[in-house]
Structure 1
Amino acid sequence: MTEVAAVRDEAAMIAAILAGDQRQFHELIRPFERGVYRMALSMLRNEAEAEEVAQEAFLRAFRNLSKFRADSKFSTWLISITLNEARSRLRRQKTVKIESLDGADDEQGHVTPALLRDWREIPSEVLERGEVRSILRRAIEELPEIYREVFVLRDEEEMSVQEVADMLELSVSAVKVRLHRARLMLQKRLVPELKSMNLTKRGWLAWF
Structure 2
Amino acid sequence: MYTPKYDLALVDDARNGDKQAILALLDLAQPDIRRYARRSCSASDDVDDVVQETLWLLYRRVGTLRALGSISGWLLAVVRRECLRMAMRAMGKPDNLNDALLNPANVDRLAHLSQDELRLDLSRAIQSLPEHYREVIILRDIEEMTIDEVAASLNLTRESIKGRLHRSRALLREYLLD
TM-score normalised according to structure 1 size: 0.45
**Runs of 4+ displaced beyond 4 Å:** 95-100, 106-111
CA offsets, 1:127-148, max 9 Å, x none?
A: xxxxxxxxxxxxxxxxxxxxxx
Write the distance in 2 (CA, Å) between the matches of 1:66 and 1:16: 9
Instruction: Provide the rounded CA distance (Å) in 2 between the counterparts of 1:83 and 1:95.
Output: 18
Cα-to-partner distance string for 1:88-107 (whole Å, 9 max, x where unaligned): 11122228998583733286
User: Greater relative contact order (Cα 8 A, min sep 6): structure 1 or 2?
Assistant: 1
What percentage of aligned pairs have identical amino acids?
Answer: 17
Does the 8 A contact of 2:37 with 2:50 survive in 1? yes
Gaps of at least 5 residues in structure 1 are: 115-159, 176-208
Larger fraction in helix: 2
Match of 1:105 in 2: 143
Q: After superposition, give the CA deviation of every residue in 1:34-92 in whole Å (9 maximum; x if it has no partner).
A: 33222222232333311110111111011111221117511111111111111111122
CA gap 1:79/1:110 in 2 versus in 1, 3 angstroms: closer
From 59, 62, 65, the counterpart of 1:65: 62
Report whether the alignment pairs 1:161 with 2:161. Answer: no
Give the one of 6, 13, 16 matched to 1:16: 13
Give the match's secondary structure for 2:55.
Answer: helix
Q: 1: CA distance between counterparts of 2:40 and 2:78? A: 13
Q: Normalized against structure 2, the TM-score is what?
A: 0.51
CA distance in 1, matches of 2:63, 2:77: 16
Counterpart mapping for 1:17-32 below 5 A: 17-32=14-29
